Amino acid sequence: QKEVEQDPGPLSVPEGAIVSLNCTYSNSAFQYFMWYRQYSRKGPELLMYTYSSGNKEDGRFTAQVDKSSKYISLFIRDSQPSDSATYLCASRGTGRRALTFGSGTRLQVQP
Amino acid sequence: GAVVSQHPSRVICKSGTSVKIECRSLDFQATTMFWYRQFPKQSLMLMATSNEGSKATYEQGVEKDKFLINHASLTLSTLTVTSAHPEDSSFYICSALTGEAEAFFGQGTRLTVV
C-alpha cells in the first residue's frame, strides 16, 4: 500500500464548477500536508500548505485535513480553464524531511 | 513564494557522456534540497536528499555513483548523471526547503539521452 493514495483521474468539469480533489494517507506520523499544481513539463507549484488538522483558505482554493480519517482535500471554487493541470498532494512527518507524494490527479476544466 | 531556479530546462546528450543539472535557491538559503525523477504521467520519485556540507542521502535503488550530488553552498546543489544511457532519459526536478516544511520546486530538467 502506498503511503499517500490519490485518484489519478482524469477529472473533467465545466468552467465555474466546484472541484474536489482528495487523497488518503496511511502514516499516522504525517503532520505537514501540501497541495501542488503541476503543468505539463513544468516543476510543481506550491498551492497550499497545512500543518496538522484543519482548514485553510486562499482565494478560490480551500485545503482540508482530517487526521482522524487520514483524509486530505483540496477544493477549487469557480474553476477556470487555466486550472487545468495535475494536482499532487504531499505529506511528511516531523522526522524525515522529504515529502511523500500522491500519484497526482489530472484536472481538465472545459470552457 | 520562494524561488528555486533549475538549469538547464532541457538537455540532449549522447550515450556515455555526463550531464550536470544545477538547482539554485535564489532568495533564501537552503540547507536541504531534494532531487526527484518523474516519468511521464507519473508522480515524483525521490532520488536523494542533498544536505549542505555533507554527503547526500540516496533512496533505495538509486545508484550513488551514477547520480552524483554535490551541495557545496547554501544556495546551490548539483546533480550529475554520469555515463548517461537512454534509460536515464527522464524529467529531473529539484526542490528546496524553506522553514520547517514548505518545499519549492525548480522548473525541472528534461534529459534525453540519444
pLDDT value at position B94?
95
Q: What is the mean pLDDT of residues A21-31?
A: 94
* Cβ <8 Å between A103 and B103: no
pLDDT at A77 over 80: yes
Best-predicted range by mean pLDDT (A44-48, B49-53, B99-103): A44-48
Least confident of A73-77, A101-105, B53-57: B53-57
* Cβ <8 Å between A34 and B34: no
Of B46, B97, B105, the CB nearest to A44: B105
Q: What is the mean pLDDT of residues B94-104?
A: 79
Characterize the bridge pairing of strands B76-81 and B67-73: antiparallel
Only one residue has cell 516543476, namely A43
Only one residue has cell 507549484, namely A45
Q: What is the mean pLDDT of residues B44-66?
A: 91
